Amino acid sequence: MPLPTQPTLDFVTGLPKAELHLHLEGTLEPDLKLRLAERNGVDIGQSTVEDVQATYRFTDLTSFLAVYYPAMDVLQTEDDFFELAHAYLLRAAANGVKHAEMFFDPQAHTARGVPFEAVVKGYHRAAAAAADFGVDADLIMCFLRDLSAESAAETLEASVPFKDLILGVGLDSDERGNPPEKFAGVFARARDLGYRLTMHCDIDQVGSIDNIRTVLETIGVDRIDHGTNIVEDPALVAEVKARGIGLTSCPVSNSFVTDDMKAAEVAQLLRDGVKITINSDDPAYFGGYVADNYAAVAAKAGLTPEEVVTLAKNSFEASWIDEDRRAAYLAEIDRYVEQYEPTEA
Ligand code: ADE
Ligand code: ZN
């Protein structure tokens, strides 16, 4: 069966893929938020799904984060974290995700008195259980960059007893005034502890290019989250290409926090041979899981089905899995493409 002439939603949904940029707290759907609020006796100020959705008006990263963090109050017990991650992983499986490397924000919970252990154990239990429905999943612990480097360092030390449950560390939250070098010492220690390293370089920030250069050359990250402003500097594009550094783009999220999906930048980097990948970021807030993100960017940039297949291959190439599993997933993509039969009219 030849490839379809267009990368349809049906084709991209079944395409085996890895999701590498996904905030577990950003998968909190309104119905689960309301259920946990009731169970834990938390007043979130809304009582229907429509009321919750009415608060989802974002014009930039800051206005999104102002809605995002207060909602986390409903997450209190290990079971709450398990339920949240389990619900995401079921949706991911239905989106063709075979491997997920999922961010979590421990400081957003420990600052409210939730034990670190409840967060990591609940999430890890869900990750392990996802093997039953064909998803292998890992955790990446993010530091909140608008908190201090000391707080990040304390969080890093709190993670040491759970090191075997965590694959790497990342950096998220508000980039304005919180450049990567603020966390250079914390990330050096994380590297020494054996963690893989990634950092957000969000879209269209003041100093985006300087921050991308710092994460590559000073911090020595293994991957960059977002980072598509790199197109402004061809020398940095050449550097990520030569070093095989993956970028995790999130088109639907981009269109909420800026006025553009950045599809042209994704297409340019893909055609330049950079390991750019497509992901969903905070799908419960931005309304698109990973297959929707593939379909949206493909339609906007006019990507061919072959180019979409390369994006899916990039997701495994840029992932932190061992070489045997990587080869098996890449072969699974080839089999899918060879055997693809449309299920839509
Ligand atoms: N936390 C959750 N989503 C984020 C994003 N897109 N950028 C920075 N921090 C985040
Ligand atoms: Zn993100």
pLDDT in tens, 37-91: 999 999 999 999 999 999 998 888 889 999 999 999 999 999 999 999 999 999 9
Contact between 220 and 197 under an 8 Å Cβ cutoff? The reply is: yes
Q: Whose CA is nearest to atom 9 of ligand 1?
A: 173
What is the pLDDT, as a whole number, of residue 60?
87
Query: From ligand 2's centre to the CA of 336, what distance in Å?
Result: 29
Q: Which residues are annotated as a binding site for substrate?
A: 282
Whole-prediction pTM: 0.98
Query: From ligand 1's centre to the CA of 26, what distance in Å?
Result: 9
Determine the Cα–Cα distance for residues 322 and 163; give it in Å rounded to an integer: 18
Mutate to test the pocket of ligand 1, among 143, 171, 173 (most ligand atoms within 8 A of CB): 173
Per the listing, tokens 């020398």 go with 235
Average pLDDT of the chain is 96
> Does the structure show a pLDDT above 80 at 344?
no
Determine the Cα–Cα distance for residues 78 and 41; give it in Å rounded to an integer: 16
Is 200 near ligand 1, meaning CB less than 6 Å away?
yes
Contact between 102 and 81 under an 8 Å Cβ cutoff? The reply is: no
Q: Give residue 4's pLDDT band: very low, low, confident or very high (50, 70, 90).
A: confident
Distance from CA of residue 66 to its chain's centroid?
19
Handedness of CA 286, 195, 203, 109 (dihedral sign): positive
> Does the structure show a pLDDT above 80 at 1?
no
How is residue 257 written in tokens? 């926090």
Contact between 320 and 101 under an 8 Å Cβ cutoff? The reply is: yes
Is 254 near ligand 1, meaning CB less than 6 Å away?
no
Q: Which residues are annotated as a binding site for Zn(2+)?
A: 21, 23, 200, 281
Per-residue pLDDT reduced to its tens digit, 275-324: 999 999 999 999 999 999 999 999 999 999 999 999 999 999 999 999 99
- Minimum-distance ligand 1 atom for the alpha carbon of 257: 6
Q: Which residues are annotated as a binding site?
A: 21, 23, 200, 281-282
Per the listing, tokens 């100093």 go with 207
Mean pLDDT, rounded, for 197-201: 98
Burial class (CB in 10 A: 0-12, 13-18, 19+), 331: exposed
Q: Whose CA is nearest to atom 1 of ligand 1?
A: 173
- Ligand closest to 64 (CA) is 1
Determine the Cα–Cα distance for residues 144 and 146; give it in Å rounded to an integer: 6
Is 26 near ligand 1, meaning CB less than 6 Å away?
yes
Which H or E run contains 131?
none
Per-residue pLDDT reduced to its tens digit, 211-227: 999 999 999 999 999 99
Name the residue ranges covered by the structural domains of the chain.
9-28+81-339
Determine the Cα–Cα distance for residues 343 and 44; give it in Å rounded to an integer: 41
Q: Whose CA is nearest to atom 8 of ligand 1?
A: 173
CATH topology of domain 9-28+81-339: TIM Barrel (3.20.20)
CA dihedral (230, 235, 236, 237) in degrees, to 10, reads: 60
Query: From ligand 1's centre to the CA of 38, what distance in Å?
Result: 26
- Minimum-distance ligand 1 atom for the alpha carbon of 25: 2
Q: Which of 266, 281, 275, 280 is nearest to 231 (CA)?
A: 266
- Kindly calculate the radius of gyration of the chain based on its CA atoms and give it in whole angstroms: 19
Contact between 246 and 223 under an 8 Å Cβ cutoff? The reply is: yes
> Does the structure show a pLDDT above 80 at 243?
yes
| CA dist list (Å): 157 to 188, 190, 195, 217 | 13, 9, 12, 25
